[in-house]
């Protein structure tokens, strides 16, 4: 998956889990937990939504790599 | 208007899910009520036929106001009927309408066909089956409710006769989903709200959101081949991202802002009452989660994301189980003193993204398998955030847990929700240095706190409760 598609998938997934987040205004260095205030259940839903939409299942051991918006996009681009 | 929480004084009727003439069973959802806190579905406390709706849509009425008249069908008059609403309903109001002589518009005399009880006949009429054509399996060949339901289920291809909850029907109508095209996963194949949402998600190609998560380890239920174009069932989606979520985004309306403000007022009033009337004491313990987190990671490694556990599920289960052993933290304090609760309905404080929080219950949390509890937790949180909770979920918690640590704090000392008598707080699950047997290592740990009511217990029992949670967490495979 190229970065453009990965970004679109991440934006769609965050939009579904946290519709109040205005992604256009979010810096991609934003941390999902601390800055976007996703709790562990939100995060699980995010991972699940991405899995459903892209087929990329992020295992738990890789969670630290996807802690930011940018990290998540990069992960999808590399694994999708 | 039933009480949907200790602090509720009035409610606004926002929708009727039934109309006069409808047959309702106890537990059927009949109305949607808006309180200061959330929108909730209210169930019927009686079985019978809706004779009249007394409160109009948009009206705000005090708790205890009769909302509708439900006439009992003749066979049931005299038999003990459902309890009065648990609300502080005036006895007159509660008893009055129920005693109104039946005015069921019903065909007289069962002169032909097998014997059939009036409520069953009414059900048959409502479902559009001819009771005379049903073979009864009851006493003397009587047609039972199950017979009617079987007849309905067996009826070939009749449109629109699908077992479903009123809420699911309404949601399907709202979303433009053909109910008969939805695969039901409820009792007897009934279509549930989750099924409708799943169908809607499939149709729009939108990512799943909310309680429609498939059960752990199970494939998503298959959607029937209908006009739903993108009925994905867990399979990788077609190329490209899911439908843009732009539709659900938008500036908060003034209504949304007003809701946040009224929720804030309600929380303020309740917490003030708590602090003014409940003599809190506070305890904290740091709990070693090395075993629990290691076990959870091992379990999750073999699971698809939908079936994975989060530490909160383990913590909630341990908190619920421990409450069995220390009943002084589980129950209600009211005018009559402390009433311990035999059941553990664990309230879970859920932060709402737009601000404020609600604390609905996971019923009988101590008896739930960990995976089931996890599933219910996800469902509850997503419905709480969507503003769709049920009356019992708001009214029933016997003990509440706050898990604020999920978002980063080390520990949290909660304020007790009256009339409950304790609040458990879990901080962030984090790695920290841990000294044991003269050696220093790094382990996952969590700070658990207890805020409890000194009128009911003291620090010794409260400490016992926290210690019991800790013990349970050391054997996660038994949770």
Question: Band of the pLDDT at B287, cuts 50, 70, 90?
Answer: very high
Q: Are B171 and B197 a contacting pair, CB within 8 Å?
A: yes
pLDDT attached to residue B427 = 94
- Higher-confidence residue of B352 and B126: namely B352
Q: How many domains does chain A have?
A: 1
Judge whether residue B400 has pLDDT over 80: yes
CATH number at residue A57: 1.10.1200.10
- Same domain, yes or no: B222 and B202: yes
Domain span including residue A17: 3-79
> Mapping DSSP to helix (H, G, I), strand (E, B) and coil, where does residue B116 land?
strand
Q: What is the DSSP string of B215-237?
A: PTTSPPPPPPSSS-TT---SSPP
- Same domain, yes or no: B401 and B429: yes
Q: How many domains does chain B have?
A: 4
Q: Are B46 and B26 a contacting pair, CB within 8 Å?
A: yes
CATH number at residue B125: 4.10.320
- Phi and psi at residue B438, to the nearest 5°: 75, 5
- Same domain, yes or no: B20 and B141: no
CATH number at residue B72: 2.40.50.100
- Same domain, yes or no: B130 and B202: no
- Same domain, yes or no: B38 and B67: yes
Residue B204: which of B222, B221, B228 has the closest Cα?
Answer: B228
pLDDT attached to residue B265 = 87
Q: Kindly state the tokens that stand for B336.
A: 């009559």
Which pairs count as long-range contacts for B348-351, CB under 8 Å and 24+ apart, including other chains?
A: B348/B316, B348/B377, B348/B380, B348/B381, B348/B400, B348/B401, B348/B403, B349/B400, B349/B401, B349/B402, B349/B403, B349/B404, B349/B414, B350/B380, B350/B381, B350/B384, B350/B385, B351/A39, B351/B404, B351/B407
Alpha carbons B56 and B65: distance in angstroms, whole number: 12
CATH number at residue B175: 4.10.320.10
Q: What is the DSSP string of B295-307?
A: HHHHHHHTS-GGG
Q: Kindly state the tokens that stand for B476.
A: 């996660």
Write the ipTM: 0.83
State how far the alpha carbon of A72 is from the alpha carbons of A52, B96, B156, in Å: 15, 61, 50
Domain assignment present for B104: no
CB contact under 8 A, B207 and A13: yes
Judge whether residue B284 has pLDDT over 70: yes
- Same domain, yes or no: B272 and B382: yes
Taking residues B316-334, report their average pLDDT.
Answer: 96
Identify the contact set of chain B against chain A, taking CB-CB distances under 8 A: 206-209, 213, 232, 234, 236-237, 240-246, 248-249, 252, 297, 300-301, 304-306, 308, 310-312, 351, 353-354, 377-378, 381-382, 403, 406-408
Distance from CA of B306 to the nearest CA of A (A): 6
Q: Kindly state the tokens that stand for B116.
A: 């059939």
Alpha carbons B172 and B182: distance in angstroms, whole number: 9
**Which residues 6+ apart lie within 8 Å of B291 measured at CB?**
B473, B474, B475, B476
Instruction: Please write the tens of the pLDDT for every residue from B134-178.
Output: 777 776 677 777 777 777 666 544 333 456 666 666 666 666 666
DSSP label at residue B425: E
- Same domain, yes or no: B268 and B367: yes
- Same domain, yes or no: B314 and B186: no
Q: Are B41 and B167 a contacting pair, CB within 8 Å?
A: yes
pLDDT attached to residue B125 = 64
Question: Band of the pLDDT at B105, cuts 50, 70, 90?
Answer: very low
Judge whether residue B180 has pLDDT over 60: yes
pLDDT attached to residue B59 = 85
Judge whether residue B186 has pLDDT over 60: yes
- Same domain, yes or no: B328 and B196: no
CA atoms lying within 13 Å on the CB side of residue B337:
3
Q: Are A50 and A58 a contacting pair, CB within 8 Å?
A: yes
Judge whether residue B319 has pLDDT over 70: yes
Beta bridge partners of B12: B34, B60
CB contact under 8 A, A20 and B354: yes
Report yes or no: A80 at the B interface, CB cutoff 8 Å: no
Question: Band of the pLDDT at B478, cuts 50, 70, 90?
Answer: very high
- Higher-confidence residue of B433 and B185: namely B433
Report yes or no: A64 at the B interface, CB cutoff 8 Å: no
- Higher-confidence residue of B123 and B104: namely B123
Which residue of chain A is at minimal alpha-carbon distance from B381?
Answer: A41
CATH number at residue B413: 3.30.559.10
The crossing angle, in degrees rounded to 10, of helices B311-325 and B370-386 is 110
Domain assignment present for B250: no
CB contact under 8 A, B407 and A39: yes
Mutation for A interface: B305, B315, B381, B426, most A CBs within 10 A: B305
Of the candidate ranges B253-257, B300-304, B335-339, the one whose mean pLDDT is the lowest: B253-257
Mean pLDDT of chain B: 76
Domain span including residue B122: 118-154
Q: Which residue in the set B209, B234, B407 is minimally distant from A33, CB to CB? A: B407
Report yes or no: A13 at the B interface, CB cutoff 8 Å: yes
pLDDT attached to residue B461 = 96
- Same domain, yes or no: B140 and B165: no
Taking residues A12-30, report their average pLDDT.
Answer: 88
Q: What is the DSSP string of A12-71?
A: HHHHHH-TT--GGG--TT-BTTTTT---HHHHHHHHHHHHHHH-----GGGGGGGSBHHH
Taking residues B344-371, report their average pLDDT.
Answer: 91
Count of residues making up chain A: 80
Instruction: Please write the tens of the pLDDT for every residue from A33-68.
Output: 888 888 888 899 999 999 999 999 999 899 999 999
- Same domain, yes or no: B66 and B42: yes
């Amino acid at each position: 998956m190229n970065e453009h598609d990965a970004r679109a998938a991440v934006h769609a997934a965050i939009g579904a889990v946290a519709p109040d987040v205005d992604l256009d205004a979010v810096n991609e260095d934003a941390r999902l937990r601390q800055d976007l205030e996703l709790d562990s259940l939100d995060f699980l839903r995010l991972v699940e939504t991405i899995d459903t939409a892209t087929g990329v299942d992020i295992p738990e051991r890789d969670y630290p790599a996807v802690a930011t918006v940018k990290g998540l996009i990069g992960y999808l681009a590399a694994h999708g | 208007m039933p009480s949907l929480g200790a602090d509720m004084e009035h409610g606004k009727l926002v929708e009727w899910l039934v109309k006069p003439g409808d047959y309702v069973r106890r537990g059927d959802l009949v109305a949607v009520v808006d309180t200061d806190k959330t929108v909730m579905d209210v169930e019927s406390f009686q079985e019978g036929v809706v004779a009249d709706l007394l409160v109009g849509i948009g009206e705000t009425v005090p708790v205890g106001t009769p909302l509708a008249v439900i006439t009992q069908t003749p066979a049931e008059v005299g038999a003990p009927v459902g309890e009065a609403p648990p609300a502080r309903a005036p006895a007159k109001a509660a008893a009055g309408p129920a005693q109104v002589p039946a005015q069921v518009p019903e065909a007289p005399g069962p002169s032909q066909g097998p014997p059939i009880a009036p409520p069953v006949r009414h059900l048959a009429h409502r479902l559009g089956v001819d009771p005379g054509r049903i073979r009864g399996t009851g006493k003397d060949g009587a047609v039972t409710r199950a017979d009617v339901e079987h007849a309905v289920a067996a009826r070939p291809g009749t449109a629109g006769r699908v077992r479903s909850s009123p809420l699911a029907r309404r949601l399907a109508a709202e979303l433009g989903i053909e109910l008969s095209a939805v695969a039901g996963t409820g009792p007897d194949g009934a279509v549930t709200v989750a099924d409708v949402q799943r169908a809607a998600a499939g149709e729009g190609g939108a990512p799943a959101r909310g309680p429609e998560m498939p059960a752990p380890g199970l494939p998503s239920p298959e959607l029937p081949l209908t006009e739903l174009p993108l009925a994905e069932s867990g399979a990788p989606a077609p190329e490209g991202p899911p439908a843009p979520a732009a539709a659900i985004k938008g500036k908060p309306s003034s209504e949304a802002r007003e809701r946040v403000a009224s929720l804030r007022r309600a929380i303020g009033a309740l917490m003030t009452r708590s602090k003014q009337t409940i003599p809190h004491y506070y305890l904290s313990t740091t709990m070693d989660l090395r075993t629990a987190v290691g076990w959870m990671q091992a379990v999750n490694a073999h699971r698809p994301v939908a079936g994975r556990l989060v530490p909160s599920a383990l913590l909630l289960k341990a908190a619920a189980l421990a409450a069995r052993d220390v009943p002084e933290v589980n129950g209600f304090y009211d005018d009559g003193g402390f009433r311990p609760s035999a059941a553990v309905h664990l309230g879970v404080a859920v932060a709402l993204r737009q601000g404020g929080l609600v604390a609905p219950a996971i019923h009988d949390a101590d008896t739930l398998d960990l995976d089931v509890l996890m599933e219910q937790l996800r469902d509850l949180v997503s419905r709480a955030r969507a503003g769709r909770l049920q009356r019992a979920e708001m009214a029933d918690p016997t003990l509440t847990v706050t898990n604020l640590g999920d978002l980063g704090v080390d520990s949290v000392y909660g304020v007790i929700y009256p009339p409950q008598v304790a609040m458990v707080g879990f901080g962030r699950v984090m790695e920290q240095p841990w000294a044991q047997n003269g050696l220093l290592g790094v382990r996952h740990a969590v700070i658990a706190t207890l805020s409890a009511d000194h009128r009911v217990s003291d620090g010794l029992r409260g400490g016992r409760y926290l210690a019991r949670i800790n013990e349970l967490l050391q054997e996660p495979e038994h949770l």
